[in-house]
Chains A and B, each alone.
Chain A
Amino acid sequence: MKREEKKSDVPYGTLDLLILKSLEAMGPMHGYRVARRLEQVSGNLLTMNQGSVYPALVRLEQNGWISTSWGVSETNRRVKVYALTKSGRSQLAVEIERWRLANELVDRFLAMSS
């Protein structure tokens, strides 16, 4: 419950939502795949370093929203594989809801002022 308050001062605002959604859509993935997925879906809209997913992943993991296990990469290296947890799934629902609410709110304001 503390997370929601903190959200606003996290500069990469929607990163958590995007990662959770990616994991939901694609199933368990390792870090590189998560980063690539974000790039692919966003096209060129998102300008971020791929490395930024790692601090985000550890934060999500500490909240218990994603879990890690050890897997093997295409280059035959031991890598961490991230997967959505049950509470991560419900958190995703919460985040989506919040996002919609915020969107709706902003839309209304924008409609009013025009």
Chain B
Amino acid sequence: MKLRRRWARLLALFQQKRADRELRSELEAHLELAELEARQRGLSPREAKRRARLELGGVERIREEHREARSSLWLEHVMFDARYALRSLRRTPVFAVTVVAVLALGLGASVAMFSVVDELFLEKLPFSEPDRIVRLWKVPFPGAINASATLDFVDWKERSGSFEALAAHSGTSATLTGLGDPQRMRGRQVTADYFRIFGVEPLYGRGFLVDEDLPGSEPVVLLSHAAWRARFGADPDVLGRQLTLDRVSHEVIGILPPGVWDRGRAEYWKPLVFTEELRTRGFMWLNVVGRLRDGVTLEQAQEEMAVVDAEVAALAPTWRRDWGLLVEPYETRVLEPSAGRSVLVAFVAVLLLLIIACANVTNLLLARGSARREQFLLRAALGATAGRLLTQQVVEVLSIFGLGGALAALLASVGVRSLEPLLADSLPETAQLGVDWSAFGFGLLLLAGSALLVVLLPAHQLSRQLKRDGAHARVRGASAVGVRTGLVIAEVAGSLILVCVALLLAKSLLRLHDIDAGVVTENVLSVTIDLPLQGYREPEDATRFASEVLNEVRSQAGVRAAALATALPMRAVDEGQGLLPLSGSGGLSVGYKRVSEGYFEALDIGLREGRTFDSRDVAGATPVGIINEELAKRIAAELEIDDPVGATVNISTPYYVEKGGELVATRIVGVIRSEHAAALAEANDAVVYVPLPQVPKRSLELLVRTEFESDQGARILRSAIAAVDPLLAFGQATTLEEVRRGGLQTPGRLTGAIAVFAGAAALLAGLGIFGLLSYAVAQERRQIGVRMALGADPSKVLLMVLRGGVRLVLWGSALGLVGTVLATRTLRSVLFGVSTLDPAVLAMALIATVVLGLVAGLVPAWRAARLDPVRALRSEG
């Protein structure tokens, strides 16, 4: 009651207006009463009123004095209590520093992680009305998505009514010449209303005109803000200039605004022109995006498009007539799934760490509270009111949290800034990372709130006790010890979970490193080449280039082997085609990789059956293909061809210039031992290899294997390419080792981060055990002293205390194991080759935790065992 009133008064002091109002009404009541009495004494109403006012005195002065009495005393007390609190914090620097550090780390790390999670999962896309932006996919079978054909897109656009705009886009790249060395630029071809869907206007210049994507229009480009700055030094005169891309002159008509469009890979955008040869249904190459009409829901659009696409699909080639159509929110696929999973796991780990940190702070405050109970009772007996004692504690908590909070804010912003480059590769182009300050405020409030509760509850108990027993109140009851034991057990459980997660991830990472990629990665260098259509208009042009560049490279000193391919090993094969039986129904969608002769030999990819490609496999000869083991398995299972070598299947084979392709009866001549044809952390893909000369392509990877480790590789490649075509640009040279490491980066970083969290959690749990046992030993000094005086062996005392520690650890571990079983389920998708209940990992984590308990208990146990019985007995228990 008294405490509540005191608290209410503290609050009321922040509400001067209310206090003034109350005084005013009190004075009015006073005047009324005085007037009433004066009238009863026989005074005239007017005289009564005058007398009442006179006797009360100046209202303004009373109000002034009242205000002064109200606040000065309070302020004085607060200042005094605050100084006292700060002094007492300074006297216990270890406590203060520990709490501040725990707060800063726990809150800082979790807010940084939350900011990332929030941006990636919760935040709306930075476009106008992002909910109305959708993607359209063809669906070969449930769960899979596929790009769309030109004519399908054209028909959708014509027949559907759900969209304000529907646009198609496709990635492209080009060689920029005329500005120093030839440079390779990535870009995107888009239909004219593409930017309308996102509500984006160029920062300078203009966007594409409606008819600029029609055949015969003048070639124009838009530049990203980043490309404009990086390649043209933000020169405003670039507008209107002609850029030579793939030997064709393009006018720069606009620069996009900075931000979202800088993060993607594209540096330029140009109109996607559907020339006659592109207008087919055979080639699935378009990404389709749309903006829903105002008021149209996703479901309505999906329903309408299902009907529209059913009509359109009737015109499609037989092999995809039964494909469905999916309309999905644009944001669904913005985040790369593996990056998303890693961020989520890290976030959960951080949450766990935050909970442990919170438990630890609570524990420390409780311990401090119990230790100071006596001191408080003494001060209470000397006349300090419960309210004053409370003020002191509140000030103490607030100053700790002020300091901890400031450090946490610093840490959070540093954390986000250092997370950004780590995540840069896997971040969606729309992400704009920054500390989420509302989350920070929320976290701080939550922590401060729980700490205040922890401080106020015992203080309330104390004040009740004081009220009942007055100055005779004694230190009694160790109710806090129960709570503290519970907290320590929870900390041990939490840290066990984190240690398990860290160990599982580490083991998974080791497995990933051990994966046999199926290829030689030492001393192999690769570089991407794009042959422009101008100069390489016929398939023979590309084939001639391929054989000349290979001859040129192979003739260089130190080169052991060279080959061309359309995709690098350990990277996803991004070209897919259909593989069908010659007759009957069914068919597979498979990875499609074109390689030159000598590819398998250059990378030491072994042959399981049949033969590799050689000089026989040229244009005009029998079309042949080689499959990997994954595909052999799928062919056996789904097409019932058990002995693939020698079998002939239909493969949809792309044309050289035009989009689209035709079914070509292809004989399978070999089965290779698998090279890993996907990122190492991902499952291997089923792939068919075809000889490059039979199906030439203008975008190629040139690989060279040198005799020894040499930094000459890049020079060799450069001079060989220049010797064949001096106008060609090529990208950055990459070693296969880099490709390999690149695939392991995300899991590696995740493991590292979790390991740090787990270490911090274990440290905190250890501190918790240490604190609790030290406290228990201090409390039982006298009892231990009595035992020792009666002849107890110091080693027994030591064991007794240690047993206490181990008991805490065992309870915590039991709880933690249950938690681990539940928590690691979510890990399944990020683990590679490790069961979530790996017994070795669980055993190791358990042992580590028990050792932690023993180590944490050792110091207090040692202290107890070395207790001098005489001094212990003399001291006030």
Contact = CB atoms under 8 A, between A and B. Distances in A.
B360 to A, nearest CB: 36
B73 A59 contact: yes
B778 to A, nearest CB: 30
Contact of A54 (B26, B382, B383, B387): B26
Interface in A73-104: 73-75, 77-80, 85-87
Chain B interface bracket (under 10, 10 to 19, 20 to 34, 35 or more): 35 or more
A74 B70 contact: no
A30 interface: yes
A49 B37 CA distance: 17
Contact of B33 (A61, A75, A85): A75
Contacts of B32: 73, 75, 77
A31 B26 contact: yes
Contacts of A55: 62, 65-66, 68-69
B39 to A, nearest CB: 11
A27 interface: no
A80 B26 CA distance: 7
Given A73-B29, A74-B33, A80-B22, A64 B61 contact: no
Interface string B35-51: 01100000000000000
Interface residues of A, number: 30
Nearest to A85: B2
A56 B70 CA distance: 10
Contacts of A86: 467
B641 interface: no
Interface stretch (B52-60, B549-557, B656-664, B688-696): B52-60
Contacts of B62: 49, 51-52, 54-55
Given A1-B382, A52-B57, A67-B5, A58 B30 contact: no
Nearest to A30: B29
Given A50-B57, A51-B58, A77 B28 contact: yes
B73 A62 contact: yes
A50 B55 contact: yes
Nearest to B73: A62
Query: What are the 3 closest A-B residue pairs judged by CB atoms, nearest first?
Result: A49-B57, A51-B62, A55-B65
A79 to B, nearest CB: 5
Contacts of B382: 1
B30 A64 contact: no
Contact of A50 (B2, B5, B30, B36): B30
8 contacts: A35-B30, A49-B58, A50-B56, A51-B27, A52-B62, A52-B65, A58-B69, A62-B69
A50 B34 contact: yes
Interface of A: 1, 30-32, 35-36, 49-52, 54-56, 58-59, 61-64, 67, 73-75, 77-80, 85-87
Contact of A62 (B23, B57, B70): B70
A51 B56 contact: yes
Given A1-B384, A51-B27, 13 more contacts: A30-B26, A49-B58, A50-B56, A54-B65, A58-B69, A58-B70, A61-B9, A63-B385, A73-B32, A75-B33, A78-B29, A79-B26, A80-B22
B25 interface: yes
Interface in B1-21: 2, 5-6, 9
Interface in B74-131: 74
A84 B551 CA distance: 107
B498 to A, nearest CB: 48
Contacts of B58: 49, 51
A59 B68 CA distance: 10
B669 to A, nearest CB: 98
A15 to B, nearest CB: 12
Contacts of B384: 1
B392 to A, nearest CB: 14
Scoring B2, B6, B382 by chain A CB atoms within 10 A of each residue's CB, the highest score goes to: B2
A86 to B, nearest CB: 8
B56 A64 contact: no
Contacts of B26: 30-31, 54, 79-80
B33 A32 contact: yes
B485 to A, nearest CB: 36
A74 B34 CA distance: 11
A54 B2 contact: no
Contacts of A58: 66, 69-70
B59 A51 contact: yes
Nearest to B382: A1
B295 to A, nearest CB: 55
A52 to B, nearest CB: 7
B64 to A, nearest CB: 9
Nearest to B19: A58
Contacts of A50: 30, 34, 55-57
B29 A32 contact: yes
Given A31-B26, A64-B6, A74 B36 contact: yes
A62 B61 contact: no
Nearest to A1: B383
Nearest to B65: A55
A64 B385 contact: yes
Contacts of A64: 2, 6, 385, 387
Contacts of B37: 36
A11 to B, nearest CB: 11
B376 to A, nearest CB: 15
B29 A54 contact: no
Contacts of B25: 77-79
B55 A49 contact: yes
A73 to B, nearest CB: 5
